[in-house]
Copies of this chain bind each other. A is one copy, B any other.
Amino acid sequence: MNSDEGRAPSAGGTRVNVLRLSGPCARWDEQDTDFIREILDLVGDKWSMLVIGALAGGDARYSDLDTMIPAISRRMLTLTLKRLQRDGLIDRTAYAEVPPRVEYSLTGLGASLLSAIQHLAAWSSEHHTEVRRHQDAYDRNATRGESPGP
């Protein structure tokens, strides 16, 4: 598990890594807390990662995205797109035609996030079965004894 590769002290390294080696993996300080908070603000909502993922395959129009992302409402699609655009993760290009055509695409910044998102998807792909097993086991233990029976 090479979890340090992304932690290069790129420019003048503001980070001070205080290691606590007692645990399974270590390397976590207060700043990470802030970083996680920030990225949750960016893509921690219900749709942002899905939109970014949908754009991984290349540019797409508004209606394409509406189709590609199951069950999203036009309202949420619009809000999510605006937000991602504000954050600089996607670009919006409107063509002055009739009927109007608008294309969305990942910026370099957005594409760089894709790798991290796919990491999450990969984890989920590999472990979701195990997660379900734990959930079921936990729920069985919790449910047992609630209706003590006759």
Q: B residues within 8 A CB of A138?
A: 85-86, 88
Expressed in whole angstroms, the Cα–Cα distance for A130 and B42 within the complex equals 13
Given contacts A25-B56, A28-B53, A40-B44, 20 further A-B contacts (CB under 8 A): A3-B114, A22-B57, A27-B56, A32-B121, A36-B53, A36-B120, A36-B121, A38-B128, A39-B120, A39-B123, A44-B44, A86-B134, A86-B135, A86-B138, A88-B130, A88-B138, A109-B127, A112-B127, A116-B116, A116-B123
Q: Give the B-binding residues of A (Cβ under 8 A).
A: 1, 3, 6-7, 10, 15, 20, 22-28, 31-33, 35-40, 42, 44, 46, 49-50, 53-59, 69-70, 85-89, 105-106, 108-109, 111-128, 130-131, 133-135, 138-139
